Amino acid sequence: MLTNTTSEQGNTLPPAIDLRKINKSFGPVHANKDVDLVVAKGTIHGIIGENGAGKSTLMSILYGFYEADSGEILVNGKLSSIKSSKEAINAGIGMVHQHFMLIENFTVLENVMLGAELNGFLKESKLSARQELTRLSDEFGLAVDPDAITGELAVGLQQRVEILKALYRGAEILILDEPTGVLTPQEVKQLFDILNALRARGVSVMLITHKLQEILAITDEVTVMRAGTMVASRETAKTNKEELAELMVGRKVLLQVDKEAAQPKNVLLQANNLTLKDGSGVTRLDDVSLQVHAGEIVGIAGVSGNGQTELLDVLSGIMPVQQGSIDLNGTTIDKRNVLNAKDFRHLSLGHVAEDRHRQGMVTSFSARECAIMGFQDEPEFNGKILMDNAAVTKHCEALMEEFDVRPANPHLKAANFSGGNQQKLCIAREIERKPEVLLVGQPTRGVDIGAIEFIHQQIVQLRDAGSAVLVVSVELEEVMSLCDRIIVMFEGRIVGEMPASEADAQTLGLLMGNAGSDKDDNGQVNAKGES
């Protein structure tokens, strides 16, 4: 199937991929702005950027999930229109998705041949697929048992099946979206061997990642994306991780948050060796221990999907503790003492959810109903049998007034408020009770500038009143300007901790990409900060 096995990158050959002025918007969000990208044949091209930089959108356009609003796609020098995955496959593009597109109860062979069967009958199709699979396995060193049930394979092997799927379809251009996120260090090494073998046989690889080390280890060229645009392209040999981290994070003017130095006092929230596995057995939290003191704001930085969501869920009682324990305001919560989110609130914990549409509010509810979420059983909102709806409305009005939520109409459906006003309402609900511990996920996601400042002020005020605040944010500058102490998470572990005063974007960026220590992936904390 694979015809092109030249390993040279002759100048005469047109680039494998040539994107010109690609634009894509989702409503008001401009996800890709005039993106140009050239990927030379037979190279590994890294694309690096923070969350929301537009990497995934760009790859989805290339693979036919989305259609670009404008711009041109040239594949091997030919102008191509790619409107569906089928057309992408026909153009020789293969994609390994971050979440594998595999049928778990199928065999490897069945997964590989699905959609590219020889003919209508499986016997013959399987026979030919088996031969081709053996050939590909030998050629690229991709050994997988064709008869194994895919869902029972280790994650690394499943990824191999995905790569084989693409090669089986004759892909000469392979896109890998965050391929190492779920792999062990050994598996990463094996993957890189495979990618090298692919390159040697003329396959062009596009590697999307936020991990600097990987970029440096494997790519020939690297492109940095930020806020929907291409900010730089470098030959990998001529750059270094410091430069890339800076390009990735950008030298933005820091938001100024007016605050005094923190006066940390006693520990109010403490996590002890929290470890959590998800339904499919992947470790999401790996031995996480941290302390938050009264009167300080601790920020958790990290690229999203590195365990922050799970940490917030466990610390707020949404998910039960599996291993380890939590000390909250003098109460210990562990496997034996299971408490739910309401019980946590009764221990004076407030929690502003990371994703208000998923957890923090019900968009089909009216604002007044959203204003009591988590407090629906409090006596102040309830009569003997019926709820005191007047009190609920009044409470919402008070919150709206105090936190300047507009329009100040408690009966309006939550969905009809702007993102900033929705978030203000959520924060108001949690802060108004002066919780001794406050968890805030993504304090200003989807919030306009004016509201950002206001929200930050409220959080600082709560700290000054003596509460312990834990902030999770993927916005590095927000963590740096708002927090007093910064913890960096990577793949469910804490990989760094430092006072905000000593943190700079570069150091944090390196830690977030797990390139902070020169050791390796197993390297633990390198810059242990205060206390």
Partner 1 sequence: MSDFLLILVSTLDSTIRVSTPLILCAMAGLFSERSGIVDIGLEGKMLAGAFAAAAVAAVTGSAWLGLLAALAISVSMALLHGFACITHRGNQVVSGLAINILASGLTVTLGIAWFHQGGQTPLLSGDARFLAIDLPGALALADVPVIGTIYSGLISGHNALVYLAFVTVPVTWWIVYQTRFGLRLRAVGENPQAVDTAGISVFWLRYRAVICAGLLCGIAGAYLSTAQNASFIKEMSAGKGYIALAALIFGKWRPKTALLACLLFGFLEALTVRLEGVALPLIGEVPPQFMQALPYILTVILLAGFIGKAVAPKAVGVPYVKER
Partner 2 sequence: MSNKTLPAWIDIGVIPLINVCLAFIVSGFVILLIGENPIEAVQYIITGAFGYGEGVGYTLYYTTNFIFTGLAVSVAFHAGLFNIGGEGQAYIGGLGVGLMCMSLDSFMPWWALLPFAIAAGAAFGAAWAFIPAYLQAYRGSHIVITTIMFNFIASALMVYLLVNILIEPGNMAPQTRSIVESATLPSMQELFAALGMDIENSPLNISLFLALACCVLVWLLMWHTRLGYAIRMIGFNENAAVYSGINTKRVIVITMCISGGMSAMVGINEVMGAQERVLLDFVAGAGFTGIAVSLMGRNHPVGIVIASLLFGALYQGGAELSFEISTITRDLVVVIQGLVILFCGALSLMLKPTIEKLFVKLMSSNKPKENANV
Contact positions vs partner 1 (CB under 8 A): 63, 65, 84-86, 88-90, 95, 97, 101-106, 110, 113-117, 119-123, 125, 165
Q: Which is nearer to partner 2, 291 or 423 (CB)?
A: 423
Residues present in the chain in total: 531
Q: Least separation, in Å, of the C-beta of 113 and partner 1?
A: 8
Q: Which is nearer to partner 1, 237 or 282 (CB)?
A: 282
User: Using the rule CB under 8 A, which residue among 7, 184, 289, 363 binds partner 2?
Assistant: 363
Q: Least separation, in Å, of the C-beta of 528 and partner 1?
A: 40
* Both structure tokens of 182: 């779920």
Parallel, antiparallel or unpaired: strands 17-26 and 70-75: antiparallel
Q: Which is nearer to partner 1, 85 or 283 (CB)?
A: 85
C-alpha distance from residue 175 to each of 19, 98, 167, 205, 211 (Å): 14, 10, 11, 6, 16
Query: In this chain, which stretch among 59-67, 208-216, 242-250, 342-350 interacts with partner 2, using CB under 8 A?
Result: 342-350
Strand order in the sheet with 297-301: 349-352, 437-441, 468-472, 297-301, 485-490, 493-499
Q: Which is nearer to partner 2, 20 or 413 (CB)?
A: 413
Partner whose binding site includes residue 104, from partner 1, partner 2, none (CB under 5 to 8 Å by kind): partner 1
Q: Least separation, in Å, of the C-beta of 364 and partner 1?
A: 17
Backbone phi, psi, residue 500, to 5°: -60, -30
User: Using the rule CB under 8 A, which residue among 122, 217, 255, 387 binds partner 2?
Assistant: 387
Angle at CA of residue 143, ends 140 and 144, nearest 5°: 135
Residue from 138, 17, 25 nearest 80 by CA: 17
Q: Least separation, in Å, of the C-beta of 352 and partner 2?
A: 10
Q: How many residues bind partner 2 (CB under 8 A)?
A: 32
> Residues with Cβ < 8 Å from 301, sequence gap 6 or more?
473, 474, 476, 479, 486, 487, 488, 489, 508, 511, 512
Q: Is 497 helix (H, G, I), strand (E, B) or coil?
A: strand
User: Which positions from 390 through 449 interact with partner 2, judged by CB under 8 A?
Assistant: 413, 415-416
Partner whose binding site includes residue 350, from partner 1, partner 2, none (CB under 5 to 8 Å by kind): none
- The answer to whether residues 496 and 525 touch, using CB atoms and an 8 Å cutoff, is yes
Q: Is residue 354 close enough to count as binding partner 2 by CB under 8 A?
A: no
Q: Which is nearer to partner 2, 169 or 351 (CB)?
A: 351
User: Which positions from 236 through 275 interact with partner 2, judged by CB under 8 A?
Assistant: none
The one-character DSSP state at 442 is: S
Q: Is residue 360 close enough to count as binding partner 2 by CB under 8 A?
A: yes
Q: Which is nearer to partner 2, 320 or 529 (CB)?
A: 320
- Cα(513)–Cα(501) distance, integer angstroms: 21
- Cα(86)–Cα(76) distance, integer angstroms: 17
C-alpha distance from residue 99 to each of 51, 86, 111, 260, 408 (Å): 16, 19, 15, 44, 41
- Cα(102)–Cα(125) distance, integer angstroms: 19
- The answer to whether residues 292 and 267 touch, using CB atoms and an 8 Å cutoff, is yes
Q: Least separation, in Å, of the C-beta of 394 and partner 2?
A: 16
Q: Which is nearer to partner 1, 168 or 381 (CB)?
A: 168
Q: Which is nearer to partner 1, 84 or 240 (CB)?
A: 84
Partner whose binding site includes residue 131, from partner 2, partner 1, none (CB under 5 to 8 Å by kind): none
Q: Which residue has the tokens 């503790």?
A: 321
Q: Is residue 519 close enough to count as binding partner 2 by CB under 8 A?
A: no
Query: In this chain, which stretch among 249-257, 289-297, 379-387, 447-455 interacts with partner 2, using CB under 8 A?
Result: 379-387
Q: Which is nearer to partner 1, 149 or 267 (CB)?
A: 149
What sign does the CA torsion over 105, 111, 116, 119 have? negative
Partner whose binding site includes residue 244, from partner 2, partner 1, none (CB under 5 to 8 Å by kind): none
- Cα(108)–Cα(3) distance, integer angstroms: 23
Partner whose binding site includes residue 413, from partner 2, partner 1, none (CB under 5 to 8 Å by kind): partner 2
Q: Least separation, in Å, of the C-beta of 58 and partner 1?
A: 15
Which residues contact partner 2 (rule: CB under 8 A)? 316-318, 340-345, 351, 353, 358-365, 369, 373-374, 376-377, 382, 385-387, 389, 413, 415-416
